[in-house]
């Protein structure tokens, strides 16, 4: 028999707040979380490479064998020439990002939710997911452990991310170029894959039910909630963590979307004016980071433990327009997705569909 599904806990870390109260306050007051990319302090790729090569040339020039071989001024000038040539022919031609604005999670302290020794083993996207899930659990009144309220096998984790550990990937590749295999840390392959956040939440929360990782680009968060909803509705589990996170404000994360001509690169003067969907002066979207988690529960069991209920989920639909990698179908296929969602929701959802029509 299908079960009714409700939301009983919310955890959130976003550019406009690090809990539900802060986010609601920012939304009500129209506060923006968009800031200048300078806040990110990304090093220009040419500066990084120039520094590495300068270090290499300096070490080469100062080795005992080099001092013996290059005593005359002309030989010593070779190093200055090489540096100048590289700067003129390469470094000055390397173009950095044109992106001007990003959305950063501010004042986030992972150690408030994760043991200090675990920090080096996790990427920022995992940390945001773990922290949001823990906050949602506390908000739902399921602390200290969900398994004190429900059997561990009836606790699910559904957690997704669009790009996963981009920060760890980029840092590790830079270290690999500079140091070879020595630069690859042992924890790299448990920090980078997209599915690792789900596994970390399961481990931290002691959840032995289904652990899944839906990935669908910008729709990942919606798909996560939909899948968690299905697991609770079908009776597979009694409670589920529905978590999504993103932390891809890196050279390649931002550079990839800029190359795709998807990001806002126009100078609007004020960074808070850069995100302007449906505006005639829009030049693209503003990339941000964050983490959010919902606790979904079986309604009857949530009532039995006198849980606070935020809302009930009555339907979910998943649909692709099969049109283009980045552009939506100009004819619009939203109605099909809505029909699927409301159709799965039963009689109450059907009433909403008729009102939508």
Q: What is the pLDDT of residue 338?
A: 66
Q: Residue 313 pLDDT > 90, yes or no? A: yes
Rounded distance between C-alpha atoms, residue 133 and residue 202, angstroms: 10
307 in Cβ contact with 297 (< 8 Å): yes
Report pLDDT digits (tens) over 167-223. 999 999 988 887 899 999 999 999 999 999 999 999 999 999 999 999 999 999 999
Domain boundaries, the chain: 5-39+98-174+189-313, 45-93, 316-357
Report pLDDT digits (tens) over 146-163. 999 999 999 999 999 999
Q: What is the pLDDT of residue 272?
A: 93
Q: Residue 356 pLDDT > 50, yes or no? A: no
211: three-class secondary structure by DSSP: strand
Q: How many alpha carbons fall within 13 Å on the CB side of residue 44? A: 11
Give the architecture (CATH level 2) of 5-39+98-174+189-313.
3-Layer(aba) Sandwich (3.40)
Q: How many alpha carbons fall within 13 Å on the CB side of residue 248? A: 21
Report pLDDT digits (tens) over 16-32. 999 999 999 999 999 99
Q: Nearest-CA neighbor of 162 among 111, 216, 97, 99? A: 216
Q: What is the pLDDT of residue 46?
A: 67
């Amino acid at each position: 028999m299908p079960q009714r599904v409700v939301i009983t806990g919310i955890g959130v870390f976003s550019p406009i707040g690090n809990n539900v109260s802060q986010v609601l306050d920012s939304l009500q007051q129209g506060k923006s979380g968009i800031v200048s990319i300078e806040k990110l302090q990304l090093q220009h790729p040419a500066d990084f490479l120039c520094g590495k090569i300068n270090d290499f040339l300096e070490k080469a020039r100062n080795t005992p064998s080099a001092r013996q071989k290059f005593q005359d001024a002309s030989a010593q000038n070779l190093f200055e020439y090489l540096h100048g040539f590289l700067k003129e022919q390469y470094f000055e031609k390397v173009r950095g990002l044109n992106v001007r604005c990003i959305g950063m999670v501010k004042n986030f302290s992972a150690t408030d939710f994760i043991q200090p020794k675990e920090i080096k083993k996790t990427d920022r996207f995992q940390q945001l997911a773990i922290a949001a899930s823990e906050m949602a659990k506390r908000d739902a009144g399921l602390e200290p452990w969900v398994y004190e309220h429900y059997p561990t096998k009836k606790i699910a984790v559904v957690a997704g991310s669009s790009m996963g550990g981009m920060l760890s990937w980029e840092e590790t590749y830079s270290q690999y170029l500079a140091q070879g295999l020595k630069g690859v840390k042992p924890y790299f392959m448990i920090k980078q894959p997209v599915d690792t956040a789900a596994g970390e939440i399961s481990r931290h929360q002691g959840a032995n039910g289904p652990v899944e990782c839906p990935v669908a680009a910008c729709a990942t968060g919606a798909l996560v909630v939909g899948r968690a909803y299905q697991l609770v509705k079908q009776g597979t589990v009694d409670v589920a963590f529905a978590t999504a996170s993103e932390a891809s404000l890196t050279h390649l994360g931002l550079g990839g979307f800029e190359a795709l001509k998807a990001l806002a690169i126009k100078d609007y003067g004020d960074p808070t004016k850069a995100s302007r969907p449906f505006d005639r002066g829009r030049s693209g979207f503003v990339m941000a980071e964050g983490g959010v988690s919902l606790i979904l529960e079986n309604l009857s069991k949530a009532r039995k433990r006198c849980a606070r209920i935020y809302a009930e989920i009555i339907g979910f639909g998943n649909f692709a327009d099969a049109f283009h990698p980045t552009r939506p179908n100009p004819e619009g296929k939203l109605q099909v997705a809505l029909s699927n969602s409301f159709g799965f929701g039963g009689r109450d959802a059907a009433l909403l569909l008729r009102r939508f029509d």
